[in-house]
């Protein structure tokens, strides 16, 4: 990190550190922290502060923050909770540039702790002093030996230098994750646990780490985020810097609970929104610690595949099938070897399967010179973007490994581009030389394929020219939202003004008017009662579909009015809406919900059972471009219906994508005043014929009682 003016610079590159509550006992929290800073090469000043000792572990101590002898970039606060706010105040007065607060007993405990935490936050904002914690386990810059942490685990399995940036909201997980990183032979560069996040949060660290030159992959554990803009900014920075983010965001079960509710509004469970954002920004979300570490490991090597063509090579046919199954599941293409490659491979090992997976049979292992020849053909002429090679148990055979390593290393030198994962059982000592030669080693073949799939997704995210496409532009001069709930007609009017395709329709006041309107619009038509007092029109028989002639329209008009008056005598009826009855559209639902943290979230799903029974919807935060809308459309399980299943023609997916992007721009423009927006159904007609909103309802925040 070159930019010393960055607000987090004093935290991760302090020139001097004060340990407030340093202890003489090197196994106590305040003692271990001080000891770590003195013994891991940190080149700056380290000042112990202890009111009852003039010396700590051989270093002269001062009694108070005020007595610090020089300027201090970072203070580490290890005092009982009750004393923390005053200590923070004193640090601000003394001009400390940043703090890490280990102490717990704040918002995580009770309301009083919450108030104390608020006071700390206020001091941070007023002074500009940046604060990590409270209730955290600390931060580290492994490169400079700046270990501002008290965890005892690092005495047993200390982090080593490397290129991984690890950020964890949970202190316990931060420690555990760093041990997993170390156990996998990886090194850390920057490490942060953010705890209660009174000031610095996971997003701030992601943003800072993304800009750190020596960090090439970001591994994060997150429970939640309170600030949309900080998170989006961080994800944008990481994407622009081509730094993969591997994210373990916990709390999926929430989704299950929310999804159980039947109304689409409840589908915007907040975990689902995180899922949407991560997908949108190319963050690789994982659900297990194992895959968090696997994908970080694969990405840390710095090789991303140029495309998505994967070659699978195996010494066991059965494992070839396992890997092919896994690749199909992960959506990775496993294209056949080009014919000349197949011929050459056959010439080498006559009984080999040479399509892809390439099953070299055990012959490969009986004559290791075949390895080089075999792989060379595939690397030179196969045109693959990544390889997984299953070596079974060769990795425990030290004699064979000694023979195999040099030709493998030579191949890697000559073909340095595609990531290559070696899979199988390896003795621990066999792994580092293979990694140094430029291979990845992942024992389990399914996990190897999953890691390649993650790399392919990162490459796709980073490969998009100039980042994500912008949302479709809105016309100028759209009016503000009224404060009252909009009627269907008003809702559709506003959407039409924004450029969304809305069904042609006329509000009529008499049977004759309705018949005339129907004749003008073209038969068959639909009739619908219009009244703000009747929200669920179809349930009380307020909708008639497929009326084929003027007589049916007249009769229908009269029937609608009679039924409505009977069912809801006090309802104010504005009239009857006449619109063309469209039968060639696929029924979809477009919606916008307000997430308390992330603002407007756009939902897309297919109508009927897809949303209501299968909860088959997908989300994005607004706004987004048509490319993202296309990705959304392809994500739902019902997508085959749009592509033209069941003998239907393919639907106008481009029109649908345009509408979704435009809707997202609309939602973003009205972010402050829009509560919910439902377009249901939005009919997507056959290719080239567009799509139309048939019904829509806009609810402003004010009207929802939240303005």
**Given the rule CB under 8 A, which residues bind a second copy?**
108-109, 152-153, 156-157, 168-173, 175-176, 179-180, 183, 221, 223, 248, 250-253, 256, 262, 287-290, 315-319, 321-322, 324-326, 328-329, 351, 362, 392-393, 396-398, 424-425, 444-447, 609-610, 612-614, 637-638, 640-641, 645-646
Contacts of 210 (CB under 8 A, 6+ apart): 218, 234, 237, 238, 241, 243
CA distance 130 to 591: 39
Of residues 425 and 510, the one with the C-beta less far from a second copy: 425
Minimum CB separation of residue 596 from a second copy in Å reads 20
Are the beta carbons of 61 and 22 closer than 8 angstroms?
yes
Of residues 423 and 508, the one with the C-beta less far from a second copy: 423
Burial class from Cβ neighbours inside 10 Å (0-12, 13-18, 19+) for residue 307 reads middle
- The region that residue 290 occupies, defined by phi over 0 for left and psi between -120 and 50 for alpha, beta otherwise, is alpha
Of residues 287 and 572, the one with the C-beta less far from a second copy: 287
Are the beta carbons of 237 and 210 closer than 8 angstroms?
yes
Of residues 110 and 213, the one with the C-beta less far from a second copy: 110
Strands of 188-193's sheet, edge to edge? 146-149, 138-141, 188-193, 161-168, 217-222, 245-249, 284-286
Minimum CB separation of residue 168 from a second copy in Å reads 8
Of residues 173 and 208, the one with the C-beta less far from a second copy: 173
Of residues 69 and 649, the one with the C-beta less far from a second copy: 649
Are the beta carbons of 249 and 285 closer than 8 angstroms?
yes
| Main-chain phi, psi angles of 75, to 5 degrees | -110, 140
Of residues 326 and 434, the one with the C-beta less far from a second copy: 326
CA distance 90 to 84: 10
CA quadruple 528, 532, 534, 537: dihedral sign = positive
CA distance 489 to 304: 51
Strands of 16-20's sheet, edge to edge? 45-49, 16-20, 74-77, 98-101, 130-132
Minimum CB separation of residue 394 from a second copy in Å reads 9
Of residues 93 and 290, the one with the C-beta less far from a second copy: 290
CA distance 465 to 461: 9
Minimum CB separation of residue 257 from a second copy in Å reads 9
Of residues 180 and 218, the one with the C-beta less far from a second copy: 180
Minimum CB separation of residue 148 from a second copy in Å reads 18
Of residues 289 and 504, the one with the C-beta less far from a second copy: 289
Are the beta carbons of 345 and 358 closer than 8 angstroms?
yes
Minimum CB separation of residue 555 from a second copy in Å reads 17
Are the beta carbons of 627 and 472 closer than 8 angstroms?
no
Minimum CB separation of residue 262 from a second copy in Å reads 7
Of residues 330 and 519, the one with the C-beta less far from a second copy: 330
Minimum CB separation of residue 471 from a second copy in Å reads 30
Minimum CB separation of residue 358 from a second copy in Å reads 14
How many Cβ atoms are within 10 Å of 401's Cβ, its own excluded? 20
HSE, side-chain direction, 13 A CA sphere, residue 28: 12
Are the beta carbons of 336 and 312 closer than 8 angstroms?
no
Residue in this structure with the two tokens 């039968």, named with its chain if needed: 583
Of residues 233 and 643, the one with the C-beta less far from a second copy: 643
Minimum CB separation of residue 103 from a second copy in Å reads 14
Of residues 5 and 253, the one with the C-beta less far from a second copy: 253
Residue in this structure with the two tokens 């595939």, named with its chain if needed: 378
* DSSP codes, 284-317: EEESSHHHHHHHHHHHHT----SSS-EEEEESSH
Minimum CB separation of residue 431 from a second copy in Å reads 14
Helix (H) or strand (E) run with residue 327 in it: helix 317-329
Of residues 168 and 676, the one with the C-beta less far from a second copy: 168
Minimum CB separation of residue 611 from a second copy in Å reads 11
Of residues 223 and 376, the one with the C-beta less far from a second copy: 223
Of residues 130 and 182, the one with the C-beta less far from a second copy: 182
* DSSP codes, 394-418: TBT-HHHHHHHHHHHHHHHHHS-SS
Minimum CB separation of residue 409 from a second copy in Å reads 22
Are the beta carbons of 588 and 605 closer than 8 angstroms?
yes
Of residues 127 and 153, the one with the C-beta less far from a second copy: 153
Give Rg (Cα) of the chain. 31
Minimum CB separation of residue 149 from a second copy in Å reads 13
DSSP at 214: T
* Listed residue (123, 96, 119) closest to 106, CA to CA: 119
- Would you report the helix, strand and coil content of the chain in percent, each value rounded to 5? 40, 20, 40
CA distance 397 to 669: 64
Minimum CB separation of residue 32 from a second copy in Å reads 13
Minimum CB separation of residue 108 from a second copy in Å reads 8
DSSP at 470: P
Buried b (16+ CB within 10 A) or exposed e, 612-633: eeebbbbbbbbbbbbebbbebb
Minimum CB separation of residue 296 from a second copy in Å reads 14
CA quadruple 541, 615, 593, 681: dihedral sign = negative
């Amino acid at each position: 990190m070159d930019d010393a003016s960055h607000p987090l610079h004093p935290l991760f590159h302090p020139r001097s550190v004060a340990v407030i509550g340093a202890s003489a006992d090197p196994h106590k929290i305040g003692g271990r922290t001080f000891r770590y800073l003195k013994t891991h090469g940190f080149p700056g000043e380290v000042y112990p502060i202890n009111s009852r000792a003039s010396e700590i572990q051989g270093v002269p101590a001062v009694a108070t923050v005020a007595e610090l002898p020089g300027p201090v970039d970072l203070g580490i606060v290890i005092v009982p909770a009750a004393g923390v706010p005053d200590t923070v105040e004193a640090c601000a007065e003394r001009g400390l540039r940043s703090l890490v607060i280990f102490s717990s007993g704040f918002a995580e405990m009770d309301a009083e702790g919450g108030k104390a935490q608020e006071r700390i936050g206020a001091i941070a904002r007023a002074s500009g002093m940046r604060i990590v914690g409270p209730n955290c386990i600390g931060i580290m810059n492994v490169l400079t030996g700046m270990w501002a942490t008290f965890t005892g685990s690092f005495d047993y399995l200390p982090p080593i230098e490397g290129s991984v940036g690890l950020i964890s909201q949970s202190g316990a997980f931060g420690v555990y994750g760093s041990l997993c990183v170390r156990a996998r032979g990886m090194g850390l560069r920057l490490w942060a646990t953010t705890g209660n996040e009174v000031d610095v949060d996971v997003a701030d660290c992601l943003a800072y780490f993304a800009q750190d030159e020596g960090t090439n992959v970001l591994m994060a554990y997150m429970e939640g985020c309170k600030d949309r803009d900080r998170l989006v900014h961080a994800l944008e920075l990481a994407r622009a810097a081509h730094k993969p983010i591997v994210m373990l965001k916990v709390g999926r079960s929430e989704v299950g609970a929310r999804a159980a509710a039947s109304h689409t509004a409840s589908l915007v469970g907040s975990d689902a929104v995180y899922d949407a954002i991560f997908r949108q920004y190319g963050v690789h979300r994982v659900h297990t610690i194992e895959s968090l570490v696997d994908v970080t490991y694969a990405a840390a090597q710095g090789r991303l595949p140029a495309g998505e063509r994967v070659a699978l090579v195996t010494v066991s046919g059965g494992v070839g099938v396992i890997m092919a199954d896994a690749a199909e599941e992960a959506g990775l293409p496993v294209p056949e070897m080009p014919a000349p490659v197949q011929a050459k491979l056959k010439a080498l090992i006559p009984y080999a399967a040479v399509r892809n997976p390439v099953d070299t049979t055990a012959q490969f292992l009986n004559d290791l010179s075949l390895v080089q020849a075999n792989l060379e053909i595939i690397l030179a002429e196969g045109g693959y973007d990544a390889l997984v090679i299953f070596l079974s148990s060769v990795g425990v055979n030290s004699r064979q490994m000694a023979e195999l390593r040099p030709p493998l290393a030579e191949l890697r030198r000559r073909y340095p581009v595609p990531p290559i994962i070696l899979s199988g059982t390896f003795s621990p000592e066999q792994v580092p030389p293979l990694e140094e030669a430029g291979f990845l080693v992942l024992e389990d073949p399914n996990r190897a394929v999953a890691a390649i799939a993650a790399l392919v997704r990162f490459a796709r995210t980073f490969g998009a020219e100039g980042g994500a496409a912008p949302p479709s532009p809105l016309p100028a001069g759209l009016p503000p939202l009224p404060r009252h709930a909009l009627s269907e007609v008003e809702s559709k009017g506003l959407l039409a003004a924004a450029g969304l395709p809305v069904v042609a329709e006329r509000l009529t006041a008499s049977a004759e008017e309705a018949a005339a309107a129907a004749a003008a619009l073209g038969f068959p038509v639909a009739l619908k009662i219009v009244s703000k007092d009747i929200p669920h029109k179809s349930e009380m028989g307020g909708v008639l579909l497929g009326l084929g002639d003027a007589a049916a329209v007249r009769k229908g008009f009269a029937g609608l009015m009679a039924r409505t008056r009977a069912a809801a005598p006090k309802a104010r009826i504005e009239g009857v809406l006449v619109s063309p009855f469209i039968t060639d559209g696929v029924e979809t639902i477009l919606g916008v919900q307000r997430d308390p943290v992330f603002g407007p979230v756009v939902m897309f799903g297919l109508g009927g059972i897809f949303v209501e029974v299968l909860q088959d919807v997908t989300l994005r935060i607004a706004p987004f471009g048509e490319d993202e809308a296309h990705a959304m459309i392809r994500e739902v399980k019902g997508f085959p219906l749009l592509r033209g299943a069941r003998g239907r023609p393919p639907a106008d997916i481009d029109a649908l994508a345009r509408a979704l992007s435009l809707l997202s721009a609309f939602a973003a423009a009205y972010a402050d005043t829009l509560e919910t927006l439902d377009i249901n159904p939005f009919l997507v007609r056959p290719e080239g014929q567009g799509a139309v909103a048939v019904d829509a309802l806009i609810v402003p925040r004010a009207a929802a009682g939240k303005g």
